[in-house]
C-alpha cells in the first residue's frame, strides 16, 4: 500500500495523542523513509521515541530536525530529550536558545527551571520560572514547579500562591493538589488542606479498582 502523507499523519497524530506512542512512531518513521527532510515530522518522531524511552533514537531524530531547521520547537525538543537522558549541561544550552522563540519560550523556561532546580541551582531556577509564568500566566506546570522550588527554599506562603495559581488553570491535577496540601499544612491553612485532601482522596477512589 502506498503512503498517503496527509491521511497517515492525521492517524499518527491521533494515536500519539491517545498515548499509542509505538504505533505513532512507526507511522512517523514510515513517512520519514519516504521524505526524510521534514523538520516538523522529525520533532514528532523524536518526541514519540522519547516517550517510549528510546532516547538514543529520539536524540538522533531531534538533531536531524535541527539540521533541517534550527528553530525553537526543535531546540526545545532536543533540550527535553537531553534532560531525560541526564545530559544537563547540553540540555541547558538548547533550552536557553529555545527561549528566544516566542512560540515555545514559556515551555523552554519551564524546562530550564525544572533542570536548574534538580541540580540545586535555585537562583537560576527562580529566574527561569518567574519568566515562564510572566509570559504565560496560565502555564500550570510552571506554576507547580515554581511552588516546589519555593517549598524547597522554605518560602511556604509563596509556594501556596504558586500551587493555587497552577490549580486555577489545571484544577484536578493530583500532583499539584498534593503539593497544595503540604503547603497549606506548612502555613497553618488547615481548612484548605482538609478540603484539598478530600479532593485528592475522592479522585484516588474514583480512579481505583471497583469493589467486588
The model's pLDDT over 112-125, given as tens digits with 9 standing for 90+, comes to 999 999 999 999 99
- Please count the CA atoms within 13 angstroms of the CA of 17 that sit on its side-chain side: 6
* Position 32 pLDDT exceeds 90: yes
- Cα(141)–Cα(148) distance, integer angstroms: 11
Mean pLDDT of the chain: 93
Closest to 176 measured CA to CA, from 204, 148, 206: 148
Nearest-angstrom CA–CA distance, 208 and 76: 35
What DSSP designation does 32 have? H
Indicate the DSSP class of residue 208. Answer: S
| Alpha carbons 99 and 73: distance in angstroms, whole number | 10
- Assess whether pLDDT exceeds 90 at residue 202: no
Write down the pLDDT at residue 6: 84
Would you give the DSSP letter of residue 138? T
d(CA 128, CA 151): 16
Q: Over 80: is that where the pLDDT of 161 sits? A: yes
The model carries a pTM of 0.90
pLDDT of residue 203: 84
% the chain with pLDDT above 70: 94
pLDDT band at residue 208 using 50, 70 and 90 as cut-offs: low
pLDDT higher than threshold 80 for residue 2: no
pLDDT-based confidence at residue 212 (cuts at 50, 70, 90): very low
From residue 123, alpha-carbon distances to 81, 95, 141, 152 in Å are 24, 17, 19, 12
In the chain, % of residues over pLDDT 90: 89
Evaluate if residue 4 carries a pLDDT over 70: no
> What is residue 114's three-state secondary structure?
helix
Mean pLDDT of all residues in 133-162: 98
C-beta neighbour count of 192 within 10 angstroms: 16
* Residue 1 pLDDT class (50, 70, 90 cuts): very low
Q: Is the pLDDT of residue 91 over 50?
A: yes
* 43 confidence band (pLDDT: 50, 70, 90): very high
Whole-angstrom distance, CA of residue 51 vs CA of residue 186? 35
What pLDDT score does 5 carry? 62
Is residue 70 left, alpha or beta, with left meaning phi > 0 and alpha meaning psi from -120 to 50?
beta
Say how far residue 203 (Cα) sits from the centre of its chain. 22
Tell me what the mean pLDDT of segment 82-108 comes to.
Answer: 98
C-alpha cell at 133: 509564568
Amino acid at each position: 500500500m502506498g503512503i498517503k502523507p496527509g491521511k497517515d499523519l492525521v492517524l499518527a497524530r491521533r494515536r500519539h495523542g491517545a498515548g499509542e506512542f509505538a504505533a505513532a512512531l512507526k507511522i512517523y518513521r514510515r513517512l520519514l523513509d519516504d521524505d526524510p527532510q521534514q523538520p516538523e515530522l522529525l520533532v514528532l518522531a523524536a518526541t514519540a521515541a522519547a516517550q517510549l524511552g528510546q532516547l538514543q533514537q529520539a536524540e538522533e531524530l531531534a538533531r536531524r530536525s535541527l539540521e533541517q531547521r534550527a528553530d525553537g520547537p526543535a531546540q526545545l525538543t532536543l533540550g527535553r530529550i537531553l534532560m531525560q537522558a541526564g545530559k544537563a549541561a547540553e540540555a541547558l544550552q538548547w533550552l536557553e536558545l529555545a527561549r528566544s522563540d516566542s512560540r515555545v519560550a514559556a515551555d523552554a523556561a519551564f524546562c530550564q527551571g525544572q533542570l536548574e532546580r534538580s541540580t540545586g541551582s535555585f537562583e537560576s531556577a527562580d529566574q527561569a520560572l518567574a519568566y515562564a509564568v510572566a509570559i504565560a500566566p496560565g502555564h500550570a506546570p510552571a506554576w507547580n514547579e515554581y511552588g516546589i522550588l519555593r517549598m524547597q527554599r522554605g518560602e511556604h506562603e509563596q509556594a501556596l500562591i504558586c500551587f493555587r495559581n497552577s490549580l486555577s488553570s489545571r484544577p484536578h491535577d493530583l500532583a499539584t493538589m498534593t503539593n497544595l496540601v503540604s503547603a497549606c499544612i506548612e502555613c497553618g491553612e488547615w481548612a484548605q488542606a482538609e478540603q484539598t485532601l478530600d479532593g485528592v482522596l475522592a479522585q484516588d477512589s474514583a480512579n481505583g479498582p471497583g469493589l467486588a
